[in-house]
Amino acid sequence: MGEEAERRRDSRVAREHEVALPHELPKAEQVKLLRAFAGEIANRYNVTVDFVLHRPHRNGDARNFHAHVYATTREVTPTGLGPKASIELSDTDRFKRGLESGRKEIKFMRDRWEVIANEHLKEHGIEARIDARSLAIQGIERLPTTHLGAPCGEWSDVDFRLR
C-alpha cells in the first residue's frame, strides 16, 4: 500500500500495534472494540488502519485472543499517501512541532487501548479490566508470559481496513 511513497529499500511502511483482546467478550464485540481503537489511530494520525483478529495458538493459552493493528506510516491525503505521520517523526521534529516525545506518544496509545477496552467491558457488564501498566508497576511479582503466535494458516476470517 505505501511502498510506492518510500524512497529507501529498507523503509517501514506500517506501524504495528499488537493488542490483547478481552477473552470475556464475544468475537463480534472484540471486532467493535478493535474498530473503536483503529478509529482512534486513524483520526489521531490521519492514517489508514488495517487489523486482523488472531485466535489463540493451539498449544497456548485458550484465552489469548489478540489482534495485529497496522497503520500506514504516512498520512492519507486526497491524492494518496502524504507526509510521514506525526508518530513516525524523530523526537527532534516532534519537539519542533510542539509534540511530546515518541515514547510518551506510545504510552498515550497504550493508555487509550486500556480506556477503550475497559469501556467495552463495562458496557457488557463484565467486571474484568485491562491494565496497560507493567507488571512491576502493578506490584505483580512474576515474569511476563511468552507469547505464542499461531502458525501460518490459522488467522481468523476477520480483516478490516479503516479510513
Tens of pLDDT, residue by residue over 50-99, are: 999 887 777 777 778 889 999 999 999 998 889 999 999 999 999 999 99
Neighbours of 44 (CB within 10 A): 16
Tens of pLDDT, residue by residue over 116-157, are: 999 999 999 999 998 888 778 888 888 776 655 554 334 444
Contact by Cβ (8 Å): 97, 86: yes
Does a structural domain hold residue 29?
A: yes
Does a structural domain hold residue 159?
A: no
Does a structural domain hold residue 154?
A: no
Q: How many residues does the chain have?
A: 163
Alpha-carbon distances, residue 15 vs 68, 90, 158 (angstroms): 10, 14, 19
Half-sphere exposure for 73 (CA within 13 Å, toward CB): 14
Tens of pLDDT, residue by residue over 102-116, are: 999 999 999 999 999
Phi-psi region of 139 (alpha: psi -120 to 50; beta: other; left: phi over 0): left
Extract the C-alpha cell encoding 125.
Answer: 457488564
What is the domain extent for residue 95? 13-142
> What CATH number has the domain bearing residue 51?
3.30.930.30
Does a structural domain hold residue 147?
A: no
Does a structural domain hold residue 4?
A: no
Q: Are strands 49-54 and 155-162 parallel, antiparallel or unpaired?
A: antiparallel
Scanning the structure block, which residue is given the C-alpha cell 468475537? 27
Domain count along the chain: 1
Q: Which residues contact residue 90 at a Cβ distance below 8 angstroms, ignoring those fewer than 6 apart?
A: 102
Does a structural domain hold residue 109?
A: yes
Does a structural domain hold residue 2?
A: no
Does a structural domain hold residue 152?
A: no
Scanning the structure block, which residue is given the C-alpha cell 486500556? 114
